[in-house]
């Protein structure tokens, strides 16, 4: 904007004149109203009439550019100052007065006249620009194309101004007709780019949505003009508007057959939609948006039927894939609109088309669409009739029953789906299909030719009952798994959901059906099953005629081991059919299911039985509370074992407990059930935790105690995942009980048999449960709990005391698990870094060490400032020099070696606590360890290898401690930064120390370090560095370290698989590009260049040995299998015999002592034997 304009002073006319001159001269951007001009208009110092007089010379100028700028500034006055319809009451009095009725009409007339001028100017300037300007290719980036091309500014401004004026009160019927006529006469959208066409359709939509009566009064002139305007549009954004307006016209207008045919011609030409949005589509219009909008037009008026039906039948017969599904979907919604007569005229072709897609389905999705279409077909024919014994319905039933004569055959399933479609169609066909299927199936079930057909029979009955359940869905609104999910409305897509602004009136109004028949039909077509209007009683209770036979067959089926799964499913569906079963019958069914979940021989259906009980509870929640859970609790013993229980009895008892706890974990997530679970299980826990036993009896009860804790943990984690609101209640009450159990176990006299709760595995489970519970608490509750924890665990004789016995020190793990979950703002008092470091390195059990590592990481991550304070740094330096770097500890002394190992682990835990915060101190700690330990003397090799393995701790994404769930400070992309920093140093360090000697101590340490990192590195980063890593991987296969060997073999497998995928993509794209062309080594090329060495070393890894553990042997075998799948035959010709013989040798491969290795070896040998032969 020109600064002179912004500071203009003088009379209102002078200020306006200066602003106009500045605008016309180009001092203002298009679409920007000069503020001085806006101010004098808002204040009422200048009227619109005066403004138009001031603009006179510009509006009538012979120069097209000048005239265009004059029209633009007037249009900008309208767009910037005119009230926006709904907001008019909030406008200032002066602004409202500015756009009074007379002003609106005058401006409308002026801009309507300018439509012709704007079109002519656009054509003239476009022609001149095309003659002299540089052509922009269609493939050029979008920024090189202007949204509103040069020359079309006047037309665009005019269209925008008229769209705004159409929303004002002074814009009446006469103005509507005038604008529409001028639009139809002088604007040809096909001559303009998409952005201008969009403005044309926006104006037309505004007229249609706000002044429909005036538009209707234009009669045939409007329809002719609209059809000419809309014809040939291809842009998805514009089509969304046109489809919305098409539907309004088809529903609201009293059309003649000729007019309907004309509208058919401009809509059905888009069917089927094949549009695919580009990746960078700014408008967010999806393929489904367009399909839904078009479908709403195609199904809006029964007059379209004579033209549409032949086209849809042709597409149904000739097409496949998405087109066929679109056709079926459209027919589903169109048939109720087109009416019974149109469907009857084509019923044979329709039925045959649907039958083919169901009985000989090419895919499940298309079959489901065909079933819905068949239901719509039958609903149209029989929806208003109580008699389905005449017509095509009886033929469908007869054909289905004919196939069901052999219920175990492949065609029986689609035949039952035909009857399911009848059930969903309408009450008349539902009654016919239900009785026909049940009558035949129950008769065959009662006296089968072979007993094995009873399973399929019950399966077909369950399918029918599932359909009835869906039709009569109860208050819970549950859906049957596998039902077709369709758009929520068959109406046009709401423009407001798109990423571009559009007048919402038209699309909002067409969502409400008109009172005429077409609109009612279109509205009814959105319902797929009419389930909202149907009930079991309203459908004349179709199951009742065969009720006793049905219940008898299902009861028989549940007791049978051969077909109880189908019977169980059918029973569950029955409970969801309102009013069919009494409460007593539902309880009986639940009891039958209860028997299944407790039966030792029902492993095959236990999962389904548990799902069934949860399903039943949705319609009768008290079933679980009153029958199932009490039964399960009654089967839990006070303790395992007991007097008089032999080995077989103990085994059976363990099986019962395992089944009961597994069932409780699946069934008890509901708030009222979880409360019952907590009460009953804690009662068992309190008794078990204080038991003091030895030997096998102790081990059995420790397992039982852990089972109770894990059950609570499993249910609690599911509740957290489902965001249950009752979890914080237990977070405030249960932790105290858990801490009491741990503390009492720690206070037990070590001279006597310790209680079960002192077992390290039990303490671990208590800690995990405490972590989940504390995560659910707010800051204030956590603060209160933290104070109690400090008092209980950090007393003078607590776990941290050097004089405390080992079992008391173990309880610090429970404290650490709780502290780990606290928010960052909760201060951890009573602990020092030095105190924790001492406790950790002097730990006598793994549980104590883990507690120390957890507390160290939590304390440093959440409560050590950045940059690290000098006091903390001095503590770390002292710890490094005395415990980590010190070589005084002899590796022959197991105690001292363990102390140093724990010190190294503690160092890396602290480093990770800082690294995840992107702290430079963390990187410095890692680098310090790398230089001092990786490159140490021969005597320090064990420490170097331990440090190298510890890198996996830093590389792991989830270590169970430093995570967002535990409120740790974790920065984005810290792992990528860590790898980018460390991996090059590992590679360079290896090369610097190998010097041709692959067995040197330092080079081996670097290989172990790399192998520790690789399993956790992102794949793109591995691919990027594969050329430099690959030789190291081959060397790592020989390392005396099992984890390094397994990691190297796995990474080579990944390289081969990724390389094969890349090479296949290159071939499809038109040929391989050589590695020389892009300067990078292809993964498969690297594998090929070392193939003989790789195979020899992998075969060595397949032999059981000290460093060839089960994971190493499995990784090597999988790598061998991947190599033969990915490499060409020419590279492996001489290796086949060697590999197959090696894998068949005694004690190796297929004769390996471990079963999991033999399974992989069999597959690998088979691939080598067949893959190469096939080539």
pLDDT above 70: percentage of residues in the chain: 87
Contact 1055, 1031 (CB under 8 A): no
CA nearest 1168: which of 1112, 1086, 1102? 1102
Does the pLDDT value for residue 350 go beyond 90? Answer: yes
- pTM for the model: 0.75
Does the pLDDT value for residue 451 go beyond 90? Answer: no
Residue 1055: both structure tokens together: 């390289």
Contact 510, 247 (CB under 8 A): yes
Give the HSE-up count for residue 82: Cα atoms under 13 Å, Cβ half-sphere. 28
Band of pLDDT at residue 128, cut at 50, 70 and 90: low
Does the pLDDT value for residue 513 go beyond 80? Answer: no
Give CA torsion, residues 1018, 1024, 1026, 1028, to 10 deg: -120
CA nearest 222: which of 194, 258, 184? 184
Does the pLDDT value for residue 607 go beyond 50? Answer: yes
Name the region of 44 (left: φ>0; alpha: ψ -120 to 50; beta: rest): left
CA nearest 1118: which of 1168, 1166, 1173, 1161? 1161
For residues 363 and 25, the model is more confident at 363
> What phi and psi, each to the nearest 5 degrees, are found at residue 335?
-60, -45
CA–CA distance, 515 with 498 (Å, rounded to integer): 28
- Express each pLDDT in 190-244 by its tens digit: 888 888 899 999 999 999 999 999 999 999 999 999 999 999 888 888 999 899 9
> What phi and psi, each to the nearest 5 degrees, are found at residue 1105?
-160, 180
Structural domain boundaries in the chain: 974-1174
Band of pLDDT at residue 647, cut at 50, 70 and 90: confident
Does the pLDDT value for residue 849 go beyond 50? Answer: yes
Does the pLDDT value for residue 136 go beyond 90? Answer: no
CA nearest 426: which of 393, 472, 389, 378? 378
Residue 581: both structure tokens together: 């079963």
Band of pLDDT at residue 516, cut at 50, 70 and 90: very low
Does the pLDDT value for residue 1075 go beyond 50? Answer: no
Contact 353, 317 (CB under 8 A): yes
- DSSP state for residue 148 in the 8-state scheme: S
- Express each pLDDT in 60-116 by its tens digit: 888 888 888 888 888 888 888 887 754 444 444 556 678 888 889 999 999 999 898
Q: Which residues of 26-54 are buried (b: 16+ CB within 10 A; e: fewer)?
A: ebbeeeebbebbeebbbeeebebeebbeb
State the average pLDDT over residues 621-642.
88
Band of pLDDT at residue 475, cut at 50, 70 and 90: very low
CA–CA distance, 694 with 678 (Å, rounded to integer): 28
Residue 502 confidence (pLDDT): 36
CA–CA distance, 1030 with 1037 (Å, rounded to integer): 11
Band of pLDDT at residue 937, cut at 50, 70 and 90: low
Band of pLDDT at residue 512, cut at 50, 70 and 90: very low
CA–CA distance, 100 with 49 (Å, rounded to integer): 12
Rounded to 10 deg, the angle between the 564-575 and 603-619 helix axes is 10
Residue 799: both structure tokens together: 């776990």
* SS3 of residue 1062 by DSSP: helix
> Is the torsion defined by CA of 786, 791, 796, 797 positive or negative?
negative
CA–CA distance, 304 with 192 (Å, rounded to integer): 31
Residue 135 confidence (pLDDT): 44
Residue 125 confidence (pLDDT): 64
The residues, any chain, with a CB within 8 Å of residue 1006's CB and separated by 6 or more, are 934, 948, 986, 989, 990, 993
Residue 887 confidence (pLDDT): 63
| Helices and strands counted in the chain (H then E) | 58, 0
Residue 810 confidence (pLDDT): 94
Residue 33: both structure tokens together: 């109203």
Does the pLDDT value for residue 479 go beyond 90? Answer: no
- DSSP state for residue 967 in the 8-state scheme: T
Query: Which residue(s) pair with 1105 in the sheet?
Result: 1108
Does the pLDDT value for residue 263 go beyond 90? Answer: yes
Residue 618 confidence (pLDDT): 82
The residues, any chain, with a CB within 8 Å of residue 480's CB and separated by 6 or more, are 466, 467, 469, 470
pLDDT above 90: percentage of residues in the chain: 45
Residue 9 confidence (pLDDT): 53
Residue 31: both structure tokens together: 């679409």
Contact 470, 531 (CB under 8 A): yes
- Express each pLDDT in 988-1006 by its tens digit: 888 887 765 545 677 888 8
* SS3 of residue 1130 by DSSP: helix
CA–CA distance, 565 with 186 (Å, rounded to integer): 71
Distances (CA, A) of 959 to 234, 339, 713, 954: 54, 64, 19, 9
Does the pLDDT value for residue 293 go beyond 50? Answer: yes
Residue 1154 confidence (pLDDT): 92
State the average pLDDT over residues 1145-1156.
91
Contact 818, 789 (CB under 8 A): yes
CA–CA distance, 334 with 308 (Å, rounded to integer): 9
CA–CA distance, 302 with 300 (Å, rounded to integer): 7
- Express each pLDDT in 883-921 by its tens digit: 988 765 444 566 777 899 999 999 999 999 999 999 999
Which long-range CB contacts under 8 A does 410-414 form with residues at least 24 apart? 411/359, 412/456, 412/460, 413/460, 413/463, 414/358, 414/359, 414/360, 414/361, 414/367
Q: Return the CATH number of the domain spanning residue range 974-1174.
A: 1.25.10
CA–CA distance, 454 with 460 (Å, rounded to integer): 10
Does the pLDDT value for residue 1168 go beyond 70? Answer: yes
Residue 942 confidence (pLDDT): 82
Residue 121: both structure tokens together: 């100017």
Residue 996 confidence (pLDDT): 53
Band of pLDDT at residue 126, cut at 50, 70 and 90: low
**Cα diameter, the chain:** 115
CA nearest 277: which of 268, 296, 290? 290
Lowest-confidence pick of 164-168, 180-184, 565-569, 751-755? 751-755
Looking at every residue in the chain, the average pLDDT score rounds to: 84
- DSSP state for residue 29 in the 8-state scheme: -
Lowest-confidence pick of 223-232, 531-540, 942-951? 531-540
Other CB atoms within a 10 A radius of the CB of residue 696 amount to 12
CA–CA distance, 884 with 1033 (Å, rounded to integer): 29
CA angle 727, 731, 736 (to 5 degrees): 150
Does the pLDDT value for residue 141 go beyond 80? Answer: no
Band of pLDDT at residue 499, cut at 50, 70 and 90: very low
């Amino acid at each position: 904007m020109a600064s002179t304009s912004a500071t203009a002073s003088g009379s209102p006319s002078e200020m306006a004149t200066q602003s106009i001159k500045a605008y016309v001269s180009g001092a203002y951007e298009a679409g920007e109203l000069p503020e001085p001009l806006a101010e004098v208009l808002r204040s009422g110092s200048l009227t619109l009439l005066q403004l138009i007089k001031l603009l006179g010379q510009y509006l009538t100028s012979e120069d097209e550019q000048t005239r265009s700028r004059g029209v633009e500034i007037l249009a900008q006055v309208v767009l910037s100052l005119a009230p926006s319809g709904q907001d008019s009451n909030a406008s200032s009095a002066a602004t409202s007065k500015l756009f009074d009725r007379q002003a609106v009409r005058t401006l409308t007339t002026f801009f309507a006249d300018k439509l012709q001028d704007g079109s002519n100017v656009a054509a003239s300037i476009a022609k001149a620009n095309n003659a002299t300007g540089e052509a922009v290719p269609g493939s050029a980036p979008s920024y090189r194309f202007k949204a509103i091309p040069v020359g079309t500014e006047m037309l665009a401004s005019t269209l925008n101004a008229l769209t705004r004026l159409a929303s004002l009160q002074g814009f009446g019927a006469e103005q509507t007709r005038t604008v529409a006529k001028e639009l139809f006469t002088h604007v040809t959208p096909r001559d303009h780019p998409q952005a201008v066409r969009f403005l044309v359709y926006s104006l037309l939509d505004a007229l249609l949505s706000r002044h429909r009566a005036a538009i209707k009064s234009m009669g045939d002139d409007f329809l002719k003009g609209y059809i000419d305007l809309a014809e040939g549009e291809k842009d998805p954004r514009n089509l969304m508007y046109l489809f919305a307006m098409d539907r309004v016209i088809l529903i609201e207008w009293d059309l003649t057959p000729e007019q309907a045919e004309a509208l058919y011609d401009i809509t059905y030409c888009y069917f089927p939609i094949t549009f695919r949005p580009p990746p960078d589509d700014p408008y967010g219009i999806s393929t489904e948006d367009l399909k839904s909008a078009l479908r709403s037009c195609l199904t809006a008026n029964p007059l379209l039927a004579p033209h549409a039906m032949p086209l849809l039948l042709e597409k149904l017969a000739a097409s496949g894939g998405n087109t066929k599904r679109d056709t079926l979907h459209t027919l589903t919604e169109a048939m109720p609109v087109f009416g019974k007569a149109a469907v009857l005229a084509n019923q044979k072709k329709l039925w045959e088309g649907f039958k083919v897609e169901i009985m000989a389905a090419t895919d499940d999705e298309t079959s489901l669409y065909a079933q819905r279409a068949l239901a719509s077909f039958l609903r149209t024919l029989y929806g208003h009739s109580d008699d389905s014994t005449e017509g095509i319905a009886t033929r469908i039933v007869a054909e289905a029953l004919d196939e069901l004569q052999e219920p175990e055959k492949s065609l029986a399933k689609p035949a039952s789906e035909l009857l399911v479609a009848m059930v969903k169609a309408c009450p008349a066909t539902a009654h016919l299909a239900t009785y026909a299927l049940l009558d035949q199936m129950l008769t065959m079930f009662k006296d089968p030719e072979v007993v094995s057909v009873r399973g399929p029979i019950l399966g077909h009955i369950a399918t029918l009952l599932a359909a009835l359940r869906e039709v009569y869905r109860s208050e819970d609104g549950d859906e049957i798994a596998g039902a077709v999910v369709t758009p929520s409305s068959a109406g046009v897509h709401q423009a407001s959901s798109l990423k571009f602004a559009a007048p919402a009136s038209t699309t909002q109004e067409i969502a409400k059906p008109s009172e005429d028949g077409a609109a009612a039909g279109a509205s009814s077509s959105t319902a797929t099953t009419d389930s909202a209007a149907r009930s079991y009683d309203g459908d004349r209770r179709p199951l009742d005629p065969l009720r006793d036979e049905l219940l008898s067959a299902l009861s028989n089926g549940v007791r049978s081991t051969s077909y109880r799964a189908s019977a169980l499913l059918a029973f569950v569906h029955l409970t969801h059919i309102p009013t069919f079963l009494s409460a007593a019958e539902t309880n009986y069914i639940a009891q039958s299911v209860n028997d299944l979940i407790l039966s030792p021989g029902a492993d095959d259906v236990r999962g389904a039985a548990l799902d069934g009980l949860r399903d039943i509870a949705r319609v009768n929640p008290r079933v679980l509370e009153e029958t199932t859970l009490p039964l399960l609790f009654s089967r839990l013993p006070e303790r395992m074992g007991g007097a008089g229980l032999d080995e077989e009895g103990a085994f059976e008892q363990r099986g019962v407990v395992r089944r009961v706890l597994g069932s409780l974990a699946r069934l008890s997530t509901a708030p009222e059930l979880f409360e019952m679970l907590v009460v009953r299980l804690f009662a068992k826990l309190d008794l078990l935790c204080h038991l003091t036993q030895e030997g096998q009896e102790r081990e059995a009860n420790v397992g039982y105690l852990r089972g109770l804790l894990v059950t609570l943990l499993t249910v609690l984690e599911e509740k957290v995942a489902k965001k249950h609101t009752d979890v914080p209640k237990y977070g405030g009450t249960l932790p105290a009980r858990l801490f009491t159990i741990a503390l009492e176990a720690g206070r037990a006299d070590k001279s006597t048999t310790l209680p079960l709760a002192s077992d390290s595995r039990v303490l671990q489970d208590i800690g995990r449960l405490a972590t989940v519970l504390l995560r659910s608490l707010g800051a204030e509750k956590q603060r209160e709990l933290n104070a109690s924890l400090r008092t209980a665990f950090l007393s003078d004789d607590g776990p941290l005391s050097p004089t405390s016995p080992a079992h008391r020190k173990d309880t610090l793990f429970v404290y650490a698990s709780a502290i780990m979950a606290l928010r960052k703002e909760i201060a951890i008092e009573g602990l020092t870094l030095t105190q924790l470091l001492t406790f950790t390195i002097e730990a006598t059990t793994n549980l104590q060490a883990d507690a120390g590592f957890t507390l160290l990481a939590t304390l440093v991550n959440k409560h050590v400032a950045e940059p690290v304070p000098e006091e903390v740094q001095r503590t770390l330096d002292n710890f490094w020099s005395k415990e980590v770097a010190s070589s005084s500890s002899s590796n022959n002394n197991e105690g001292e070696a363990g102390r140093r190992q724990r010190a190294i682990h503690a160092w890396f835990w602290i480093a990770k606590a800082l690294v995840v915060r992107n702290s430079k101190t963390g990187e410095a700690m890692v680098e310090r360890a790398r230089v001092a330990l990786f490159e140490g003397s021969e005597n320090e090799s064990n420490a170097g290898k331990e440090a190298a393995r510890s890198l996996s701790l830093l590389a792991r994404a989830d270590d169970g401690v430093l995570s967002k769930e535990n409120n740790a400070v974790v920065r984005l992309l810290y792992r990528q930064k860590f790898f980018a920093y460390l991996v090059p140093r590992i590679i360079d360090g290896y090369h610097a120390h190998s010097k041709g000697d692959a067995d040197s101590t330092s080079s081996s340490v670097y290989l172990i370090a790399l192998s520790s990192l690789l399993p956790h590195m992102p794949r793109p980063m591995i691919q990027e560095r594969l050329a430099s890593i690959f030789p190291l991987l081959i060397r790592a296969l020989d390392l005396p370290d099992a984890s390094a060997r397994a990691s190297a073999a796995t990474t080579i497998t990944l390289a081969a698989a990724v390389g094969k995928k890349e090479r296949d993509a290159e071939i499809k794209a038109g040929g391989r590009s050589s590695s020389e062309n892009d300067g990078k080594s292809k993964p498969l090329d690297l594998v090929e260049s070392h193939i003989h060495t790789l195979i020899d070393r992998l075969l060595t890894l397949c032999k059981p040995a000290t460093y060839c553990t089960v994971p190493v042997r499995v990784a090597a075998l999988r790598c061998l299998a991947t190599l033969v799948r990915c490499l060409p035959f020419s590279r492996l010709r001489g290796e086949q015999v060697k590999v197959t013989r090696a894998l068949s040798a005694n004690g190796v491969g297929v004769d390996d002592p471990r079963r999991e290795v033999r399974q992989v070896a069999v597959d690998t040998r088979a691939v080598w034997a067949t893959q190469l032969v096939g080539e």
